[in-house]
Amino acid sequence: MSLRLILLGPPASGKGTQGRRLAEDLGLDYLSTGALLREAMEEGSAAGEEARPYLERGDYVPDALMQPLVERWLGERQGGWILDGYPRTLAQDDALRAWLRGQGGRLDGVIELQVPKQELVRRIERRVECPECRWSGQRGELNGAGRCPECGGLAGPRADDTLDNFLSRHEQFVRHTMPIIERYAADDRLFSCDATAPVDAVAERLLAISERLKRHGQAA
């Protein structure tokens, strides 16, 4: 059974690191909307240029711009997937639900990564990303000479990882994404995970949650 999962959490909660790892462990496709938009910016596409000022300010990209990109990505996948940080607004969640209904599909679960704000600030100060493969993590995870542990590319801080930008994105998360988390909690489809533990421990917790969801889906 191929799962369809949403991974939500504040900026720097580890969604990229854990989402990629979980997708690999489960054999699922993985979508990071942030990486998708940054790639579009680097390519100089119309969507990337339209998204640029929002990302540089730490604002959410408008639903009208984000939704077509996500639906195109989803439409190219036949199996299961993990959405990292999407949906980010109630309107995006409504659109995703409508898309799933139109495809005769369903969402298996939503996993929330929980990290205190002060820990998020510490992580932001140390976070790096590889422009080659989009791996992201902490400086201490890099190989010699600042090289990405996945592909060997030269990793460095993200351009949007300033403290002011983080504080803006965190405020946007509280305002726009927390209502989605509350919605899925009310539907009894939310699974929360303490993501302050070491990376391997958090990965084990997420895998255990996913296995529970898989067994539940097989029994349904």
- The structure tokens listed for 36 are 């998708």
- Predicted model pTM: 0.82
Alpha helices in 90-193 (DSSP H): 90-103, 117-126, 163-172, 178-186
- Can you give the CATH number for the domain in which 190 is found? 3.40.50.300
- Which residues belong to the active site? 15, 88, 127, 158, 169
Residue 199: band (very low, low, confident or very high) from pLDDT cuts 50, 70, 90? very high
Domain hosting residue 203, numbered range: 4-219
What pLDDT digit, counting tens, does each position of 111-145 carry? 999 999 999 999 988 889 898 888 888 888 998 88
Tally the domains of the chain: 1
What pLDDT digit, counting tens, does each position of 77-100 carry? 989 999 998 999 999 999 999 999
